[in-house]
Structure 1
Amino acid sequence: MNTDTASQDNVTTWLLDADPAITWQALRDLTDASAAAVTAERARVAETGWGRRLLDLQDDGQWAGGACFPGRGWRPTGPAVGDPDGQPWVATMPTLRLLREFGIDPADRAVREAVNGVREQSTWEHAGQRFFDGEVEPCINGDTVAVGAYFGENVDGVAQRLIGEQLEDGGWNCEAENGSIRSSFHSTICVLDGLLEYERAGGQVPVADARRRGEEYLLTRGLFRRASTGEVVDGDWLQFSFPTHWHYDVLRGLDYFRTVGGTPDPRLAEAVEHVRSKRRPDGTWALENTHPGLVHFELEDGDGKPSRWNTLRAKRVLRWYDAARPA
């Protein structure tokens, strides 16, 4: 066994020695584990570790007493940590978004009970809309479609709204209601995540054409450059975060295209090589740009330290790209 192969094997072992939310995805995406083994490990996400902890933090059909933000007067009763001056990531939407990232089984009884509670009791801060009826901003509605479709809820109306809000350049922008005619990478990736999840869940609204136009918006820009000048749009997008929340970065964009599958578009090449260049000598990728705010509990050891989440995502992106690109 050569040194590089040994290093890769050690990293995979490190990923498999983690919370079930990571372990089951590492089994599925990085090994030749049987479907039965993957399914068994995935079932553990709702039973133990981070997934179970998040489910246990729900109260009265919501998390932190609100849909997007903590409810008035809410105070953490558990070990909530993080930057209190940042955006709080403990309410219902960021928590459901994280449970989806964990790959928790939507059919699990405890998960169904939690989602039923959200449907019946959670409403948006904007105007009191029911949670799965969506809000007004495309980025929030993209997330609503993503979590709704993933957990088996009817989000047809929100998907239809997003189709009608697609901008001329192919993407979406939460500032469109204020007159913006240029799309946002942040809003666009949230909507694309949602439309892909919705399409794969068998949603009734035709979204494939809009999704491909949105993908073209990102591909035309190489995932991180301005279409007009070729300059890097935002240096932060070249650093990798987890959770990403509503934020965009290159690794999030590439993991989306990996999920789409098929032969990689040649315009992904520069972004892929950037991910490859960030691999550390020990074979891991670091956590680099944590988005500040209150969280239920920490998932990583902090910026600059090896990140299981970023390592998992980077390795599976490279595995897909290297195996699927034309010779």
Structure 2
Amino acid sequence: MNDFEVISFLLEGDPSIQYQTRKYLLGETEAELSGLRQSISKSGWGRMYLDAQNEDLSFGKGFYAHKWTSTHYSLLDLRYLEIPRETESLVMSVRDITKNCRAGDGGVTGTRGSKHSDVCVNGMFLNYGAYFHMEDEPVKTIVDLLSSQVLPDGGFNCQDKSTHSSVHTTLSVLEGFLSLIRYGYTYRIEDIMRMKRTAEEFLLSHHLFRSSTTGDVMNENFIQPAYPPRWKYDILKALWYFADVGIPFDSRMEDALLIIEKLRTKDGTLLKGKTISGELHFRMEEGKAGRWNPMRAMRVLQHYARLTVNE
């Protein structure tokens, strides 16, 4: 398949795939896509997630039980689907979390009475919480918490007493910051922008996947994109973030972009990648072929002028 045939293949997929293909690859406006976006909550994967929601607005067995059917990861997946932000049951689910799943440090947690919360979980929560119209008060306590967790190298780590940042945690926090910025939250915005810049530099200083000491690949999973990524890091998830925030090409992205180009198969697609083990509501994609990774890769490659599909 050539790139236009791949686009046709993507447009035969779930409404969420169709929507993001037309938005990110074909450059259509939100006004043009309004009806299609609404359909994400009415059919396909979006509807299947909503049908799995419990009467009390939770998913699975609660906030963090079990992976990946919990409220936390279900809301994160729905945010990645770009289901309509105003979906009432999801807005109310986020408000329930901010009311009933708080730790003593101001973050969110699935452990009642806990004094401490996880930095990575808080980053992911900001990502979907801001998307689903979370209120201002929890934003303030979580931003205050995260601002106290920046490590000397500019990133974040969910492990206590760490001296070196984690790419997993750092990218999760970056996605959370981007969501706050994009959806109009202004609390400590200058501090958020500063933390965002240093965290981005941390990832780039590693060329997105290389050890800062040896230059070797830090983890083979980092160069084998999976979807949904959940909390786990890989180069396609990182490059999507950089494209999404509009950061221009940096030479330290080059090796990662070359890997993505090489992962494209002879027919122009990508394999759907590994499925991260754990309990699921359902499988989005069966077999070896998939649409998420090809769409994500094409958006990244198009942003960084490695291909053109919207002329």
Q: Hey, what's the Cα distance between the residues in 1 that align with 2:180 and 2:28?
A: 27
Aligned-pair RMSD on alpha carbons?
A: 2.0
Which amino acid counterpart does residue 150 of structure 2 have in structure 1?
Q
CA distance in 2, matches of 1:323, 1:127: 48
Distance 1:121 1:260, change over 3 A: same
Task: Indicate conservation of the 8 Å contact 1:46/1:111, yes or no.
Answer: no
Partner of 2:130: 149
1:147 Cα deviation (Å)?
1.1
Partner in structure 2 of residue 36 of structure 1: 31
Equivalent position of 1:68 in the other structure:
64
Please report the TM-score for the alignment, with normalisation by the length of structure 2.
0.89
Letter of the 1:96 partner, please give it. L
Cα distance between partner residues in 2 of 1:310 and 1:323? 16
Give the deviation of 1:299 after TM superposition.
0.6
> Given that residues 175 and 241 in structure 2 are in contact (C-alpha distance below 8 angstroms), is that contact kept between their aligned partners in structure 1?
yes
CA drift of 1:120 comes to 5.2
| CA positional deviation for 1:47 | 1.5
* Correspondence 1:95-106 to 2 at 5 A: 95-106=74-85
Task: Give aligned-pair identity as a percent.
Answer: 33
1:156-195 superposed matches below 5 A? 156-175=140-159, 177=160, 179-195=161-177
Deviates more, 1:245-254 or 1:53-62: 53-62
C-alpha contact 2:91 2:133 (8 A) present in aligned 1 = no
Cα distance, 1:243–1:226 mapped onto 2, change above 3 Å? same
One-letter amino acid matched to 1:205: R
Unaligned runs of 5+ in 2: 103-108
Aligned partner of 1:84 in structure 2 is: none
Aligned to 1:310: 293
- Distance change in 2, residues 1:195/1:32 (3 Å): closer
Match of 2:7 in 1: 12
Distance 1:32 1:254, change over 3 A: closer
Contact residue 145 and residue 159 of structure 1 kept, 8 A: no
Q: CA shift at 1:18, angstroms?
A: 1.0
Give the TM-score, by structure 1 length.
0.85
Pairwise CA distance, 1:125 = 2.7
User: Is there any run of 5+ residues in structure 1 with no aligned partner, and where?
Assistant: 1-5, 71-87
- Which amino acid letter does the alignment assign opposite residue 55 of structure 1? L
1:319 is matched with 302
Q: How does 1:119-138 map to 2 (within 5 A)?
A: 119=98, 124-128=109-113, 136-138=117-119
**165-174 vs 36-45, which deviates more?**
36-45
What amino acid sits opposite 2:228 in the alignment?
P
How far residue 110 of structure 1 moved from its aligned partner, in angstroms, is 4.5
Q: How many pairs align? A: 294
